[in-house]
Chains A and B, each alone.
Chain A
Amino acid sequence: MGLLRDWHYVEKAVQIPALAELIREALIHALFVRDDRVLPRDLIADLNRVPPVTVKVKEDAEVRKLVRVLNGQESTVSLGLSAEDYHYFRTQLGVGRTREFGVTMRPRTLLTYDWIVPEQRGVQLDFTGYAGIEFAVDGHRAIAQVGALWKRLYDEASERGHLVPFVPTVPLDFAVGDALYGDAPFASFRGGFASYVNALRTISAYGQRARIGFEEVANYGTAYDLLHAAIPLAGEFFIPLSAALRLEAKPAARKTLTYGFDDPAKLSAGLDRLCRFGPGVNWVHITDAVAAKILRPATPPEASTVQVSLGATTTGIAAKEKALDVAMVGFKAKSSETPNPYDVSADAYRKTADTVARSLFVGEVRVPAKSFGEFLGKVRAFGDQSAAKAGAYANLQETGSVSTYPFFSAPKDRTKVYDLSKGVRAIVTRTPGAAFTSRLAHLWDEEPNFLRRMSLVRSLKLEIDEAHVVQPLISP
């Protein structure tokens, strides 16, 4: 999700004598909101910089060439730009001057907020037009270019008899690449997005095509599983171009069952039982009343709604539904007609996504199923106190953890984002077993083991991207 650069910047900033007086959190606040009362002017200028050149990618060869040019391995002549573009490119990048250039990938849809430190002088890659999807002829895998929309992947896979197991917990119009260099929250009941990635086709910092993992098979016994270690930060090690995704077969019978709860304790107990359910559950999507109203404006919402996507044999589905009813005992209402957010037309999906996107999101909180109801209540109360009505989208994982995305009806200015994130963090600290995994939460975390891991990850980045090309780290 792209955070090494911010983390490194903060680590370095705390060492600057002029800023050393500030406590870490105050510094992060100042950097995040670009506070000119606290920070020197040139630092603010750095933070407000935007990458001067955006390249719309159509072919991987262009990216290779670009990286090689930025690396000084090839001259700009080989970029094959029109005379006008060529001149623009050279002047904007200041080719020929002694400057470091970087390449950064622009997420199509960002759930939360922009990074603290933008790419300083390099090139931003826009993958909107790099969106092909190729399905295996006789197997359950797809190779999706990073610009391909998740919804298209989902629909086309379905037409071919596959099931895309992972769905966006917050139903925005994400591209596949948003999970690699953005913050798209793809997950299934059985695992996160990474569990479904067999390989990434990338361009390395040296401009070579490099495949991380294996497109057709899993990654076992081949030295380090670099693929899965890198995925949350993939865009900081390589330039990912396509992902080889592991799909499943579409079950013979599928059903979305919707359970309404009005009692948070019963909701938590139901989820706690549901996570022991075993195979058959594809995803479990949870919304509070505010989120449910956004997704289904025509339906009066329950305090909490749990939608379960169930798959089984045609003969087995009834028994599974019965077992599910038992697990969810305590529900107030049940329906098998309520549409789920994903199996709708692309237009309807996009329309809903536009509405969903208006809310302010602070990132992911992992909450034990048992405490979910209580956590929701606290977030709601916090929203009321902060004059920012709160809601949440969430999904339940088999591990017993609920991956929750609280949101607020508030203007998306950075100060508000910061304050609301801080409030959520305070609730998380009071919820046993919960973890806040947003980008800001990473920057705040000072647990020694976490800091060691981050510095190992940074060393690894510096080794792999020795050329300082892929989102190069920047010091204030």
Chain B
Amino acid sequence: MASLDYAYRRLVNTLGPERVARSEFERMVYSHDFASLPKIALLQWRLYPDFVALPQTTEEVAALVKLSDESLLQITPRGGGTGWCGGSVPNRGGVLVDMRKMNNVLALDPDTRTVTVEAGATWKEVEDFVESKGFALPTIPLNAAGSTVGGSINSGSTGFGGLRGGSVRDAIASLEVILPNGSLLKTASQADAGGQLANLTPLFFGAEGTLGIVTKAILRVVPKPEISKPLTYAFPNLAAAARCLKGIVDAALTPYHAALMDRDHFVFDRALEADSPDPTDLALVAVQGSKDDVADQEKAMDGLAAKEQGTKLPPAVGDRLWRDRYNNYSARRLSRGLMVSYNLVPLRRLPEAVEKAMEIRDKLKLNGSVQAHIVDTTTAALDPYVLMDDTKPSGGTALGFVKRMGDAAFKMEGHPMGLGLFLVFNLRKMHGNATSAYSAVKGVFDPRKKINGGKTFEVWTKYPWPGLRAIPPPGMAIGLEVAAILRRVKPTRDRFVRAYEHTKEG
């Protein structure tokens, strides 16, 4: 391996000194993603990159990837760093490629109804651009403000608009990718909307940066709806809200978005902002279309909600929630840390699923909120979050929640989302006998495991020695299970909001 100083010089020659960082502070910033990892993780992984590189062009990305053949440094691609399972965090140092300087929206073609963007653009940036031209994105990840196009595609994200607009995967016409050998690949031919001509785009959907670095995406756009109207309904309990969401699909309605949030979310909100909505178990449904269409959908929604004793809330509540829709985790400010568990469950089992999530949260004595949204006619995303203080030893044990939620999702015939660095043990549970076919994909694209090696399929440690190089994925599962047990034996419930206990009891 070339010395780090030499590697640094080569990087600087490629990008210029202002776009290569190696200071302790910068490396620290990139040593975690949205999930808070306990310090103990540093014993296992070298989470700090050796260098952070900020390319601005596809050619520079290709040059960075080729450089790693000389330096033998691992490459970790990173978008907004809002993932939750360590995908964008190094495990053995190396070069972290921050894509956020490649954030231009390059062109909108009204004829083919596509927009070409650089992979480091956030979805919100893309949305603002296409809306200014009279178009909209058919579907957009929940975290549109922070997550990048390349990052969400590589996370296999769900989001707003799925029921109506389809999956993010189907919204991609084509991707431009720098493969681990430094060559450029276009994943589909653009005229081939159905992907018959050897369409490789789906392989990158959820690839967690293990197949190459996405540099550009051509995304489909749809005409901007005439009217968009958020509706909110309060329910006697969360299961009733879940039944209402299921009822939407059973009634063949196709609102743009339909989600539920439990009252605890609003308890946290209230602690941060006095004028936030009254805490209640709530469904948020956004309908879009022409004036007539919206009125008709609203009427149908009112009827569905009434069936579950839902009461319609004033328009101001919906407007506020809709305005803040990309900013869902402000509760983090109450606790310093926050852990989200993303799972897909069958929509028909959503009422049971939300109750299970509440049960797990309460058993583990955590504060948190249970939330869900419809993904498609069979699927709901169940994404509860819990608050944690990762500066305290007990903070890290909140990771046990993610493990227990994932197990519950499997039991309900669904699955947790994301594998990254520390949820790899779920891979086999997800794919069973087909697991080897999934690993085969990595073998074809990146036989030398240059990009995000030691993640998604296996768990490398920072140690290069045989026997210690990797830990068996079930080892991680045991660790997280221990965390869950520690939470259960913890004598007291977490208490980040004073009001929390009152409202729970009251």
Contact = CB atoms under 8 A, between A and B. Distances in A.
Interface string A359-373: 000001010101000
A434 B189 CA distance: 11
Contact of B223 (A276, A401, A403): A276
Given A210-B434, A217-B414, A366 B194 contact: yes
B236 to A, nearest CB: 22
Contact of B211 (A204, A224, A364): A224
Interface string B66-98: 000000000000000000000000000000000
A403 B193 CA distance: 9
Given A139-B378, A223-B419, A316 B433 contact: no
Interface in B345-365: 345-348
Contacts of A312: 296
A18 interface: no
Given A190-B166, A237-B437, A221 B156 contact: yes
Contact of B193 (A279, A401, A457): A401
A208 B433 contact: yes
Interface in B316-347: 342, 344-347
A350 B230 CA distance: 46
Among B251, B300, B441, chain A packs the most CB atoms within 10 A around the CB of B441
Contact of A140 (B185, B196, B377, B430): B377
Contacts of B48: none
Contact of A224 (B111, B191, B203): B203
Contacts of B487: none
A379 B305 CA distance: 52
Among B157, B249, B253, chain A packs the most CB atoms within 10 A around the CB of B253
A313 B300 contact: yes
B417 A222 contact: yes
Contacts of A138: 348
Interface string A443-468: 00101011011101101100110000
Interface residues of B, number: 90
B220 A399 contact: yes
A399 B203 contact: no
A299 B157 CA distance: 49
Interface in B94-115: 111-113
A229 interface: yes
A1 interface: yes
Contacts of A313: 251, 253, 296-297, 299-300
B469 interface: no
Interface stretch (A67-75, A99-107, A249-257): A249-257
A119 interface: no
A218 B252 contact: no
Interface string A190-224: 11101100100010100011111011111111111
A225 B413 contact: no
Contact of B156 (A214, A220, A247, A276): A220
Contacts of B188: 453
A279 B297 CA distance: 11
A323 B290 contact: yes
A141 to B, nearest CB: 5
B434 A140 contact: no
A320 B297 CA distance: 12
Interface string B444-468: 1100000000001100000000000
B196 A211 contact: no
A251 B384 CA distance: 31
| Interchain residue pairs A-B with the least CB separation, the first 4 | A221-B417, A139-B348, A435-B191, A463-B440
Interface of A: 1, 136, 138-141, 163, 187, 190-192, 194-195, 198, 202, 204, 208-212, 214-229, 232, 237-238, 246-252, 276, 278-280, 311-313, 315-316, 319-320, 323, 364, 366, 368, 370, 397-401, 403, 433-435, 437, 442, 445, 447, 449-450, 452-454, 456-457, 459-460, 463-464
